[in-house]
Amino acid sequence: SSLIRSISGSVTSHVLQIVSALEAVVLRSFGPNGGQVLFTKDTGEAIVTRSGTRILTALRLKHPLARMVVDCVWKHSRATGDGSKNFILLLASLLRMFQTALQTTTAWRLAYELREFGMMKLDEIICLGVLPYGFCAKLENDPLDTHYLCVKKLLTPFFQTRLGQTHCDMISHLTCEFLMRSRVANNHPSSGLHFVYTNFPALHTTVSGVPVTCSRLIEGQVIHSDFAVHFPQTDKQPVKAVVFTQHVQPKLLGEGDILTVGFEDQAFKKKSIVEFTAWSEKSLQLVFASLQSFGVSVLLSAVKQSAAFLALAAQAEMCVVECVSEDELSLFARLSRTAPVLDCCAIEAVNVATLTFCCPLTLGVQRYECVVVTQFYGNVTTYNWSFFHYDCVLCLLFIYLFMYLLKLNFLFSFHRYVHVAFPHSEQDVVVNLSSLVICGSGKEQTDQYASAFQDSIRMLLTTYEPRGTTTLSDERTCLLTDEKTESASSSAPDLQQHVLDSCCVVPAGGAFEILLSRALLQHGDKYPVSRLLSDALLSVSRHICTQTSGRFSPAQAKVLTQCDGFSSKAVMSGSSLESVSCKHILLQSVLWCATSLLRVDKILYTHVVLNTDSQKSAGDSWDDTG
């Protein structure tokens, strides 16, 4: 039997309680001076993070509204790369303002007014009240150094809040260099951002156990697999490579299959398995003959090839790299302007890629261990167990000490990869491709740095090309639009388009919130919701200013609000910038989430009593959720 019960008490009060609790969680790590949260997994692994999304998704939340809010934050963060903590702060402030209003109106009424305001008036207010005070950062208008400066000023506050003050300058500079080198030739400058974001998993390599200051750029592409067969290049000729996506020598027989060798024809009746295998190898030899005719010396494979294939490759002195990921192979194909081999028997010129070099790449801490040993033992250059033959007891003690240290160092293992580079030509897809090597003290820390890099690119993409991000907000607009507002909403997308296409940036640190708050107050008489939103934004700017300057400064607000005739030079002279598009999308997301929360009337739980005699079916009990 199933029982349905409803949670007693007001849903709205629960919503505020939940969002306030989440606000208390993220407030500790908010801003450049915010702290980090240490999470310990059940496996004992520790994660230290400042990322709002990471913190919120790691909390143990069983309440459906809490899960809904965290889900909204996660989706917003995935779409824009930034703003998860701001999301919660703004949502909490907004719901607090609503508490007063809910004494005289219903939640549904308030949700309706909020939705109407968000769809009809907000974009216009941003256009008139915020955009004039910003700086237009369209890429095609700017020379390269201005563009670099703008990107660096956008990245600095992002990395400050995500990774802390210590390394943010270094990481911002590295990211800028990475993006500058990844411009796509003969295309819109922002297409480089698309290219990098889409191919980021293949364009970066993580190395654990090394300080983050060792992160750097290297030329070309790093393939995250090792050579199965390797022959070092002796000459400086361009290297030819071919990509196989399937088994060259297909596995004809599986378990339980029966192979009948020979035909009813008398001539073949006496054929045996030996002839069959010889025939199979002969076809493989023909493939290699074809490869040798093209001068191919490197074979990249998406799958693990057979032993016969590897043997023939070694015989032909060809390098083989197996189990290359699909992302890396597609990037390789795109950069080399070639196509993978479809039919092994018909290899063509279009399948042969030309590389500047293809060599092994070792990333890790192996070199560090050798230096320690050599310094102490003089002529010893390799680590071997003959140390135990020394007579000196003191030496033995030091041996044990260093062995212990070295044993610890072995935990930070090194990895061998394949490093390829492509020759420059006018037809290059990317002007000067580089790959990013991201270092970190531990695996989790390194992964965090990598996700911060990726989110920063996502943030820049939202700044310069926000249309791709608005697919999410467009879906929400479709969900919220009803028959009454269809005719009236025809002008809303135009204004939204203008806000998003403007590529406007404003000084970071609360300027957007203060400017918009002032603009919203001017509409407070006509739209009471506008006043509530204005108060909520001011509350958030108070949090921001408290983090940056230690106390809320009305003087700072006054300076910002008296910026009529603000020049773009004044905006650009500041040390950090933030994107109006990102803030606009954040605002729309928060309004949508608040509207959805206000429209929840009742939460029903279903409990299914398990019958010990019958089998448990999937998803029939809520007892184990969370």
Residues binding other proteins (CB under 8 A): 7-9, 13-14, 16-18, 20-25, 27-28, 37, 59-64, 66, 96, 99-101, 103-105, 109-110, 112-113, 526-529, 603, 605, 626
How would you class 104 by CB atoms within 10 Å of its CB: exposed for 0-12, middle for 13-18, buried for 19 or more? exposed
| CA-to-CA separations, 73 to 41, 390, 445, 529, in angstroms, rounded | 22, 62, 22, 23
Considering the complex, state which of residue 526 and residue 551 has its C-beta at the smaller distance from other proteins.
526
Considering the complex, state which of residue 19 and residue 248 has its C-beta at the smaller distance from other proteins.
19
With tokens 């693990």, the residue in question is: 304
Closest by CA position to 51, among listed 468, 362, 453, 411: 453
Residue type, 482: D
Considering the complex, state which of residue 283 and residue 522 has its C-beta at the smaller distance from other proteins.
522
Residue type, 469: T
| CA-to-CA separations, 78 to 66, 72, 82, 83, in angstroms, rounded | 18, 10, 8, 10
Least distance to other proteins, CB of residue 596, Å: 18
Considering the complex, state which of residue 36 and residue 561 has its C-beta at the smaller distance from other proteins.
36
- Give the DSSP letter of residue 249: S
The β-bridge partners of 418 are 223, 360
* Separation between Cα atoms, residue 206 and residue 198, nearest integer Å: 17
Tokens (6 digits) for 163: 């990774």
Least distance to other proteins, CB of residue 624, Å: 12
The β-bridge partners of 579 are 505
Least distance to other proteins, CB of residue 587, Å: 20
Least distance to other proteins, CB of residue 106, Å: 8
Least distance to other proteins, CB of residue 24, Å: 3
Tokens (6 digits) for 492: 């809303």
Q: Where are the beta strands (DSSP E) in 356-466?
A: 357-363, 415-421, 434-440
Considering the complex, state which of residue 112 and residue 244 has its C-beta at the smaller distance from other proteins.
112
Least distance to other proteins, CB of residue 527, Å: 8
Least distance to other proteins, CB of residue 53, Å: 15
Considering the complex, state which of residue 1 and residue 625 has its C-beta at the smaller distance from other proteins.
625
* Separation between Cα atoms, residue 435 and residue 425, nearest integer Å: 19
Considering the complex, state which of residue 58 and residue 365 has its C-beta at the smaller distance from other proteins.
58
Least distance to other proteins, CB of residue 109, Å: 6
3-class secondary structure, 506: strand
Considering the complex, state which of residue 25 and residue 370 has its C-beta at the smaller distance from other proteins.
25
Considering the complex, state which of residue 23 and residue 328 has its C-beta at the smaller distance from other proteins.
23
Least distance to other proteins, CB of residue 417, Å: 38
Considering the complex, state which of residue 470 and residue 595 has its C-beta at the smaller distance from other proteins.
595
* Separation between Cα atoms, residue 194 and residue 184, nearest integer Å: 9
Least distance to other proteins, CB of residue 549, Å: 23
What sections of 81-167 are H helices per DSSP?
A: 84-101, 107-120, 122-129, 144-163
Around Cβ 591, how many Cβ atoms within 10 Å? 24
Considering the complex, state which of residue 27 and residue 395 has its C-beta at the smaller distance from other proteins.
27
* Separation between Cα atoms, residue 464 and residue 458, nearest integer Å: 10
For residues 571 and 504, is the Cβ–Cβ distance under 8 A?
A: no
Least distance to other proteins, CB of residue 529, Å: 8
With tokens 């990895």, the residue in question is: 415
Considering the complex, state which of residue 17 and residue 198 has its C-beta at the smaller distance from other proteins.
17
3-class secondary structure, 65: helix
Tokens (6 digits) for 243: 């990509």
Least distance to other proteins, CB of residue 622, Å: 8
- Torsion of the alpha carbons at 509, 511, 516 and 517, rounded to the nearest 10: 70
Half-sphere exposure in the Cβ direction for 210 (13 Å, CA): 21
Closest by CA position to 185, among listed 292, 334, 323: 334
